[in-house]
Amino acid sequence: MSAISREEVAHLARLSRLAVTEEELETFAGQLDVILQAVARVGEVAAADIPPTSHSVPLTNVLRDDVVVPGLTRAEALSGAPDSEEDRFRVPRILDEDEPPSPRGEGPADSDGKA
């Protein structure tokens, strides 16, 4: 039985923001299926009582004193950007031209983080 279907791969490509071609989809579906069947072996280890390890070094937040130090200039920060305008990153259009504005209360979260 295959571990992953072509439709699932198409869905993964969308989630991953990858505009893959039909041909690529076919290739990836076959390859991901082989890989997933091989890596599924991790399930052979009964591990209900085993704590997971996400990192080999104990992680602690590194905080420095709140001292103002020079950072990158605007020009440096923008130097690698594909496009910029008025000292800012210029991004492609976000809304469709014929998209109606969101009614009040149904738009994206406001600045308080509350919808």
9 burial (CB, 10 Å; 0-12 / 13-18 / 19+) is buried
- Token reading at 38: 């091989």
Q: Which residue from 2, 7, 91, 107 is in contact with another protein, where contact means CB under 8 A?
A: 91
Q: Which residue from 2, 7, 26, 89 is in contact with another protein, where contact means CB under 8 A?
A: 89
In the complex, minimum distance from the CB of residue 25 to another protein, in angstroms, rounded to a whole number:
10
In the complex, minimum distance from the CB of residue 39 to another protein, in angstroms, rounded to a whole number:
4
Binding flag, residue 112, another protein (CB under 8 A)? no
| Cα–Cα distance for residue pair 32/38, rounded to 1 Å | 10
CA distances from 63 to 60, 71, 95, 97 (A): 9, 17, 38, 44
Contacts with another protein, residue ranges (CB under 8 A): 4, 8-9, 12-20, 24, 27-28, 31-32, 34-36, 38-45, 47, 50-57, 59-62, 64, 72, 76-77, 79-83, 89, 91-94, 96
